[in-house]
Amino acid sequence: MPARLEGGRELEVAVVTTERAKHFYSPQDIPVTLYSDADEWEMWKCRSDPVLHIDLRRWADLMLVAPLDANTLGKVASGICDNLLTCVIRAWDCRKPLLFCPAMNTVMWEHPITAQQVGQLKAFGYVEIPCVAKKLVCGDQGLGAMAEVGTIVGKVEEILFRHSGSQQS
């Protein structure tokens, strides 16, 4: 089912989840196709079968990683690809936009390795949608919360429609 944006534009959306992320939502609340590691391995049995992470990167015009946690940030910065999400990112064609929304505890955010790794992703050409300061789920107050959904959608629209050159009717 396509997702409808304000203004009537429609987007085909697929969600790629990590196994750990599954702890934080119910699959029945995701109204679009949801892929996880099992799909990658179940889909491929022999040479003629599709390789999901390659098919997804061919299919998508834009990739949004939201939230990008500290663990996956570290993997992406160093090229590790040990699950479906990091394989799609590792296989991503850097001529297409990739946006990331860091989200982590304030002290994790302030650790010097975070700036190094975020800088590495930006050097790849990926676009940071910066985290914001608020009271976090763990009770700490400060930077590290994922950007507001409206901010993220606005940035996706700005980049996607500028990139594709599509005009709103």
Looking at the Cβ atoms of 108 and 152, the one nearer to ligand FMN is: 108
18 binds ligand FMN (CB under 6 A): yes
Q: Which of 81, 87, 131, 138 is labelled catalytic? A: 138
- Residue 67 per-residue DSSP state: E
46 is catalytic: no
62 binds ligand FMN (CB under 6 A): no
Give me the 85-104 binding string for ligand FMN, x by CB under 6 A, dash otherwise. ------------------xx
Helix (H) or strand (E) holding 33: strand 33-35
Angle (CA) 41 45 50, round 5°: 75
Pick from 168, 167, 155, 169: which is nearest to 62 by CA? Answer: 155
Look at the chain and count its residues. Answer: 169
147 binds ligand FMN (CB under 6 A): no
Angle (CA) 36 92 32, round 5°: 40
77 binds ligand FMN (CB under 6 A): no
Pick from 78, 89, 79, 77: which is nearest to 18 by CA? Answer: 89
- Residue with tokens 């993997």, as numbered in its chain: 75
69 binds ligand FMN (CB under 6 A): yes
**In the set 5, 11, 15, 21, which binds ligand FMN (CB under 6 A)?**
21
By Cβ distance, which residue is nearest to ligand FMN? 69
Q: Considering only 45-53, 63-71, 91-99, 112-120, which stretch makes contact with ligand FMN by CB under 6 A?
A: 63-71
Q: Which two tokens stand for residue 169?
A: 């009717």
Q: Under a CB-based contact definition with an 8 Å cutoff, are residues 121 and 100 in contact?
A: yes
Looking at the Cβ atoms of 115 and 163, the one nearer to ligand FMN is: 115
Q: Give the residues lining the site for ligand FMN (CB under 6 A).
A: 18, 20-21, 69-72, 103-104, 108
